[in-house]
Amino acid sequence: MNGQIISLLLQRDLEKLKLELLQYRDESMIWKTVPGISNSAGNLCLHLVGNLNTYIGAELGKTGYIRNRELEFLQKDIQRDELIRKIENTILVVAKVLQHLPDEALAQEYPLLVLKEKTSTGYFLTHLAVHLGYHLGQINYHRRIMEGV
């Protein structure tokens, strides 16, 4: 596996994230929750954008992005268009950083200790792709639950 493959998978699922948000008939439902579901689609979207901009953008790409993880779950009622812009900017960051990441960098240790133990950059990028897919599935179910679909 190489960085280009991981980049394509991340970009694909970020595009799917945009589509999920666009499928909410009532934009306000993006921010609602029901008993048993603690995070809204909007907060999960902010979390995913923050996650990728931190671990790919800031750490690997030196973009200067500064994350406020707590705010990702506290902010509410950001307009859908703004969420879409955040996703589109994240797509650009992922593409730019990973296109310049040499394949040999994937075998090197990821610069931060994020998980319980140190990992290779390739392993951690794969983790980020799986993390995105996990929350993307939650958003899909959230939308269907909220809209009775």
| pLDDT tens-digit profile, the chain (149 residues) | 588 899 999 999 999 999 999 999 999 999 999 888 899 999 999 999 999 999 999 999 999 999 999 999 999 999 999 999 999 999 999 999 999 899 899 999 999 999 999 999 999 999 999 999 999 999 999 999 998 86
Q: What is the pTM of this model?
A: 0.95
Rounded to whole angstroms, how far apart are CA atoms 117 and 34? 35
What the chain holds in terms of domains, given with CATH numbers, is 3-147 (1.20.120.450)
139 and 46 in contact (C-beta within 8 Å)? no
**Region of residue 130 (left: phi > 0; alpha: psi -120 to 50; beta: else):** alpha
**Mind giving me the DSSP string for 124-139?**
HHHHHHHHHHHHHHHH
59 and 96 in contact (C-beta within 8 Å)? no
